[in-house]
Amino acid sequence: MNSFTEENYLKAIFHLSAEDGIVVSTNKISETINTTAASVTDMLKKLAEKKLISYIKYQGATLTQSGRQVAAAIVRKHRLWEVFLVDKLGFKWDEVHEIAEELEHINSEELINRLDHFLGLPSNDPHGDPIPDSQGNINQKKLLKVSKLIPGQQGSISGVSEHSSVFLQFLEKSGLTLGANLTIKDVMPFDGSVTLLINDLKEITISREVAKNILVMI
Amino acid sequence: MNSFTEENYLKAIFHLSAEDGIVVSTNKISETINTTAASVTDMLKKLAEKKLISYIKYQGATLTQSGRQVAAAIVRKHRLWEVFLVDKLGFKWDEVHEIAEELEHINSEELINRLDHFLGLPSNDPHGDPIPDSQGNINQKKLLKVSKLIPGQQGSISGVSEHSSVFLQFLEKSGLTLGANLTIKDVMPFDGSVTLLINDLKEITISREVAKNILVMI
DNA sequence: TACAATTTTTAGGTTAGTCTAAATTAAATT
DNA sequence: AATTTAATTTAGACTAACCTAAAAATTGTA
Ligand SMILES: [Mn+2]
Ligand SMILES: [Mn+2]
Ligand SMILES: [Mn+2]
Ligand SMILES: [Mn+2]
């Protein structure tokens, strides 16, 4: 088995390689996991030893088949637990991430499969992120940043790329919740702020920075 | 905060002092936690430093007020999660202990109180053990071992003092489940085995060893 | 291409939790 | 009370995960 720490490294590499391409640098990992680069180097050697990553000195790391599977399993658990916390225990979507960071390390196949059924085999977590299946496959729909849209375009909010509590609370307060329908009214050339209509009801203007972190399906 | 390891030591001392009186010996702890006595000594010093136990060299340890509260909180979490696993996810009572050993360390007051409500504020876990309240108070009813009963006496199964999977499966198979009504028919003088009637229906004979580990309320 | 800046690795240490073997203390037995 | 046995502690070491500071490699730039 892998330790909590090893699992967290694998998860970090998983998320970083999804975002940034394939090879993940020591420094990027050290930032996301909040350790020093020296510590990361130590761990990369160890994970390579265990054949969970391939690692070339001074180049970076990529997950192997088996490393990716381990990482996907952790992400699956994280997201299923988030669904549980929101759907069953009534937490808000901005309150569940930290708790899920702990729950994702609970080690029982049986548990997670029963939980999956108990929750009704959900395909997405409370933030719109797709839940990997038990084989680790992810079915990700193509999503667009609101900042990429032009006036007249429509879309429904299907995800966010920023998960901080303040950001999620802001969205909640503004009515920018998962599933909301957006129509782009105007994009200000000066700073890129976007004026849009939510569910054909409420007009709101958001900064480019906010627009970049809201993902819609067209 | 306390580490997983510290929590496990506190829990062990908690359970041992409930069973065996007050002062808990180094060796008893090392047995229940599966470490060497030397390791236990180290940890006892550390827990005493943190004022979670009082510890006298060569004498043994007892929980302080604050140590007992920490331990009770862990037991509360363990038992609530066991209820969740059985009532909501459909696990059998002999399958949940190991998973609860992991879940009991998840650190969120909010989570555990919401879980408590979600489960309907249960007062006992699937094995009949009482669930401490959020202040750490336990409301334990007086229970008797079946081995202490004499022919003619009646009682309902309200707990077990052995939690191994094999034992629980045996009970299940024999119809000796929580809530079953027992009438003592006969106690064999030779080896102490007990013949009893379950729910006025089925007669069964169990060894003295089994009888010692079934607890009834009269 | 040569030098500077940045990134990454190595070297050497620390802490928590564990272990074995030896020493010490307490308990039991003669 | 003396001695043997059992329980407990101490001493010394190990591993995982981390750190800082220094060295090495890579990358960017003049
Ligand atoms: Mn999350
Ligand atoms: Mn999420
Ligand atoms: Mn249990
Ligand atoms: Mn139990």
Encode pLDDT of A74-119 as tens digits: 999 999 999 999 999 999 999 999 999 999 999 999 999 999 999 9
Output b/e per residue, B96-133; b: 16+ Cβ within 10 A.
bbebbebbbbbebeebbebbbebeeebebbbbbbbbbe
d(CA B106, CA B83): 16
pLDDT band (50, 70, 90) for residue A21: low
Q: Where in chain A is the domain with CATH 1.10.10.10?
A: 4-63, 75-140
State chain B's mean pLDDT as an integer: 95
Position A30 pLDDT exceeds 90 = yes
d(CA A166, CA A210): 12
| SS3 assignment, position A215 | strand
* Nucleotide closest in space to B2 (CA vs C1'): C16
Would you state the pLDDT for residue A102?
A: 98
Position A57 pLDDT exceeds 90 = yes
**pTM (2 decimals)?**
0.93
> How many residues can be counted in chain A?
218
- Percentage of chain B beyond pLDDT 90 is 90
Would you state the pLDDT for residue A19?
A: 67
Would you state the pLDDT for residue A140?
A: 80
Q: What residues sit around ligand 3, an ion, with C-beta below 5 angstroms?
A: B 97
Would you state the pLDDT for residue B141?
A: 82
Selected from 3.30.1490.100, 3.40.640.10, 2.30.40.10, 2.30.30.90, the CATH number assigned to the domain covering B144-217 reads: 2.30.30.90
| SS3 assignment, position A99 | helix
Would you state the pLDDT for residue B140?
A: 81
A73 CA to C8 C1', in Å? 30
Name which of B84, B108, B112, B119 to mutate to probe chain A: the one with the most chain A Cβ atoms within 10 A of its Cβ: B108
Would you state the pLDDT for residue B142?
A: 87
Selected from 1.10.10.10, 3.40.50.150, 3.20.20.370, 1.20.1250.20, the CATH number assigned to the domain covering A4-63 reads: 1.10.10.10
Q: Where in chain B is the domain with CATH 2.30.30.90?
A: 144-217
A91 contacts B114? CB cut-off 8 A: yes
Long-range contact set of residues A135-138: C-beta below 8 Å, sequence gap at least 24: A135/A69, A136/A68, A136/A69, A136/A72, A136/A73, A136/A76, A137/A72, A138/A72
Calculate mean pLDDT across residues A147-172.
93
pLDDT band (50, 70, 90) for residue B21: low
Q: Is the CB of B50 under 7 A from strand C?
A: no
* Nucleotide closest in space to A7 (CA vs C1'): D17
Position B20 pLDDT exceeds 60 = no
**Which chain A residues are within 8 Å of B108, Cβ to Cβ?**
98-99, 102
A40 CA to D16 C1', in Å? 13
* B146-159 pLDDT tens trace: 999 999 999 999 99
Calculate mean pLDDT across residues A163-192.
93
3-state helix, strand, coil in chain B (%, to 5): 45, 20, 35
Would you say B132 and B72 are in contact if contact means Cβ atoms under 8 Å apart? yes
B107 contacts A106? CB cut-off 8 A: no
Position A4 pLDDT exceeds 60 = yes
- Percentage of chain A beyond pLDDT 90 is 89
Place of tokens 């009534």: A90
Q: Which residue has the higher pLDDT, B202 or B119?
A: B119
Name which of A88, A101, A112 to mutate to probe chain B: the one with the most chain B Cβ atoms within 10 A of its Cβ: A88
State chain A's mean pLDDT as an integer: 94
Mean pLDDT lowest for which of A39-48, A112-121, A160-169?
Answer: A160-169
Would you state the pLDDT for residue B22?
A: 84
CATH architecture of A75-140: Orthogonal Bundle (1.10)
Mean pLDDT lowest for which of A13-22, A157-166, B55-64, B102-111?
Answer: A13-22
Mean pLDDT lowest for which of A32-36, A188-192, B49-53?
Answer: A188-192
- Percentage of chain B beyond pLDDT 70 is 99
